[in-house]
Chains A and B, each alone.
Chain A
Amino acid sequence: MSVLKPFSKLPNLDTASILLVENEEQVQQGLAEALVEDSAQAVNVRLARSLPLPLENEKTRPRIDLVVFILNLTSDKSFKSANESLKYLDPGYFLGKVCFMVTNARYASGNMGRLDAVRKMAASLHCPLLFAEVQSPEGVTNAARRLLTILKVASGLVPNTSSLYLSNLTRCTKPPDIDQPSFD
């Protein structure tokens, strides 16, 4: 089983590479196109359903600067698959190079349990948790822009910042009680 490592390869000049992991493969493609289109720098996008990544691509694969897990909140399998995949990531990735992107949160907002589980996972791994409105093209573009902001930092394209520094602010925290303000 090969574990993906953040620093095992040299980066390409002025290029950022992002890996989108989504079990359903519904949003992936659209998001990838938006990422490539929207960025001033060259962005390599790799798509996968789950980790580990196949060994035969090892050589052609660039250094992955940011791993994004896309979680569909209406599906249980989505969460399970992402959870399974996590162990194939080098711990180095969790210093600001992994983020979770939740889709369809408003469709499933009746199901608070699932959202809570996702939040717990993101908080325990100190990763940012993003939400995306993937039903509309604007929502996808917006999601791509947010990912690009993080990706640029993670790939070292922004001077004076590092992904670890950024993640200090953006990582998910789990407030004690999410629904109610705690004064009553």
Chain B
Amino acid sequence: MAKLVSLSDSDLSASSEESVSSRIHRSLRLAEQEKRKNEAEKPFVLALKYFSEVEVGTPVVGNDEFENHLAQVEKVAFSKGLSPEAVSVMLEFAMSLRMGSSPCARVLKCLIPDSVVPQEAVFRAVVWLSVGKIPISTQVLFIKWVLTVFDMIDAKDKLRAIYGFIFSFITDENLVCDSNAFKLLGKAGRQPYLLHLLSLYKVFCPELVTLSIPSRMRSGFKNHISPWKSALMALQKRGSLQVASSISLNFTLKNKTGSRKRRHRHLELPELSRVTNTGVNTEQTSSRKLVPLVQIQSFEQLLKNMHQIELPAQMGSLLGSRLALQYLDCVQDESALLRLNFWLGYALHEEFLFCTDGGAGQNAEEALQFLNKLLSAQQFLQEGFHSSDAFLYKFLNIWDGSLLRPQILGLLSNIPVIPSSRECQNEKLSCGLIECLNNMLLKWLTWHSVYALEDDLDISLHSHTSINITLSGFKDSVMDLVCFVGRLASVGLQLEGCHSLLLSFVLDFYETVCDTFLKFGLPLVVMPPPGVFYPAMFATDPVSLDRLAYIMNRYKMNLTSAKSQEKVTSHAFHISRQTYQEFNNYLAFMVNCLWNSSMRCPETDIQLSEELLAKSGVPQPWMRFDLIHHPAFMMYAVEFHQKCWPGRKDMDLNSIKQAKPWSWYLEFLFTQGFGGLKDFFQNNISRPGQELDSAQSKKQPLVS
């Protein structure tokens, strides 16, 4: 990182050298004009001239000339504020360390702008920063200064391009703090801003920061920007600050709400607001006119101004605005996403991970709303944010399974494909969980079908990231998920006594699973485990059985289609023999059971001995689960019987088994809306002889 920076650094200084020197010249010209106007300002102009021209290595100690000039600048700064040009000159002087590092902090402290701060100057100062000779305390001072005057910087297009660098600097700074933690803390005491930086860092690498940081920092920079702030306020009072009113208003307002509701400040989405408050100087420095997002009212306006949108000062505000999200989705602005993720990650960590009051108390309602907003934003974008994913990975580790469950499950279903070998485990089995996992699978599959069409091998994980996963890796992940849900569902159904609601959610899931190949183009077929198949097969409600029939039918379509493709193309995927076998066994069992009134089912792992069945005392046990006697269909059989033989006194359901009434009965069932059974019947019973695999299929059911 350091190497990279210093390389680009020389480039940068070379390219921006000219503009800055021209700026300095212009400033001198301007200064000259003013001199003519007002002789009283002469010393200040001279001072600026001195600072822009002073030789490298001029001594500071005992240098009266320097002292006088600096005093002059300070006087003007605190009384009237510095013009943009003066700020440029002084910042350049300070950061370039032309007279060593000792005057640097003093100059920074008097950098009070009277209108705006030129972006160029800040940009250049950041470059100087990376040269790395500036003492840490001064570096921190500079960062604090930038934060203070951030809203007064005239344009931020270039600055935005180096956000990543600034953030990495902050992280880097923390590293310095961390390794020297004792030294620094010993020397400077627990400076709030250091702790604040550390706490930021702790969000990202908690294991590296061993210091215990008060979970609720009293807004770290607040006290430390106050020298500039009070000076700015003073200037504003005297009316000499041109930009001003709204900035200072921001200051005061922020502080007020901050002190009163400091604890919950993360959970409130900020308002959309402009970055700079002046229209005057914006055009001067940036070539194009920017339209602040807050002024955009309709989608049409957004489309018209798409190329010149100015992002708001607080990125959190994007979450609350549909149009802003639309913009984010269309433009895929790296820096915007970076800023948004930074804010979001910090907010989530502060409120839900490093909490002191358990989060379950008063702010539960706020937390709920916050997460719902986040969820709706993610649903709108149809993908999750990195920071919320990263937060989830941590939060799930310590989740009690019930706190904010709907929201957490919602967020969970948005996480992108997780490479296999990672398993989330949850003891609480619930319909909500299965639904969440189904949604997750659906999203993964949809995402796969959207992004993997062009290139079968590499798929990018997020639409806006470059992390890739291979097709086989993706298949493994999906396979893991499906198998995991299979196990989960088996146990869940057992624990809940095959609860039909849970069964319904499980079948939902398998409706997604059975169609992975045909519907989503993913060459993968995974059969349900016996723990899911048999409960559905013996369910007491006809709907579950009908859905099972539908699912089995879809499996068959997928398998046949896969098989036919296997014959045509050489590089088609291979479905294991075991999958076919599993499928055939299930199919044979189903057909035998429902149509042939036979429970016999060779080659399955479950075998019921005749003696055991005999012990149950049920007469003709093999008939109990045919379409007539199955508990789910008995009611229909009785109804059919009554309709078919209205005069009969004795009910003999077995009489339906005769050829004619049987086919009528089937017709009757199909008219009752059992579409799944109908398809199953048509594809598996009426056209015998169709085999799926070379393995002997036992399914030549005879409708007797």
Q: Interface on A for B, CB 8 Å cutoff?
A: 102, 105-107, 109-110, 112-113, 115, 119, 128, 130-133, 135-136, 138-139, 142-143, 146, 149-150, 153, 158-161, 165-166, 168-173, 175-176, 178-184
Contact = CB atoms under 8 A, between A and B. Distances in A.
A169 B422 contact: no
B356 interface: yes
A179 B213 CA distance: 20
B336 interface: no
Nearest to B397: A178
Contacts of A139: 358, 360, 400, 402-403
Nearest to A177: B422
A169 B467 CA distance: 31
Contacts of B207: 112-113, 179
B403 A133 contact: yes
Interface in B390-427: 390, 393-394, 397-403, 418-419, 421-423, 425, 427
Contacts of B400: 130-133, 139, 142-143
Query: Which residue, of B398, B401, B419, has the highest number of chain A Cβ atoms within 10 A?
Result: B398
A106 B48 CA distance: 55
Interface in B173-210: 202, 206-207
B692 interface: no
Given A131-B400, A149-B429, 5 more contacts: A109-B354, A109-B394, A131-B401, A142-B400, A166-B495
A113 B359 CA distance: 23
B62 interface: no
A150 to B, nearest CB: 7
Given A161-B495, A181-B419, A182-B422, A107 B356 contact: yes
A109 B419 CA distance: 25
Nearest to B468: A183
Nearest to B401: A146
Contacts of B354: 106, 109-110
Nearest to B398: A105
Given A133-B403, A142-B400, A183 B467 contact: yes
Contact of B422 (A160, A166, A181): A181
A173 B423 contact: yes
B425 to A, nearest CB: 6
A181 B495 contact: no
Given A110-B206, A112-B207, A133-B360, A169 B425 contact: yes
Contacts of B497: 159
Nearest to A128: B427
Contact of A150 (B360, B422, B427, B461): B427
B353 A176 contact: no
Contacts of A181: 389, 393, 418-419, 422
A158 B358 contact: no
A115 B427 CA distance: 18
B352 interface: yes
B224 interface: no
Contact of B427 (A149, A173, A183): A149
A172 B467 contact: no
A109 B487 CA distance: 30
A166 B429 CA distance: 11
A146 B494 CA distance: 16
B658 interface: no
Contacts of A135: 357-358, 360-361
B202 to A, nearest CB: 7
Contacts of B71: none
Contacts of B402: 133, 138-139, 142
18 contacts: A106-B355, A107-B358, A112-B206, A112-B207, A130-B400, A136-B361, A138-B402, A142-B401, A149-B427, A149-B428, A150-B427, A169-B487, A170-B427, A171-B425, A172-B425, A179-B206, A179-B207, A179-B394
Contacts of A149: 427-429, 495
Given A161-B495, A165-B491, A175 B355 contact: no
Interface in B487-538: 487-488, 491, 494-495, 497
Contacts of A178: 393-394, 397
Query: Which residue, of A106, A160, A161, A180, has the highest number of chain B Cβ atoms within 10 A?
Result: A106
Nearest to B360: A136
Given A110-B212, A133-B403, A176 B421 contact: yes
B269 interface: no
Interface string B422-452: 1101011100000000000000000000000
A180 B559 CA distance: 37
Nearest to B352: A106
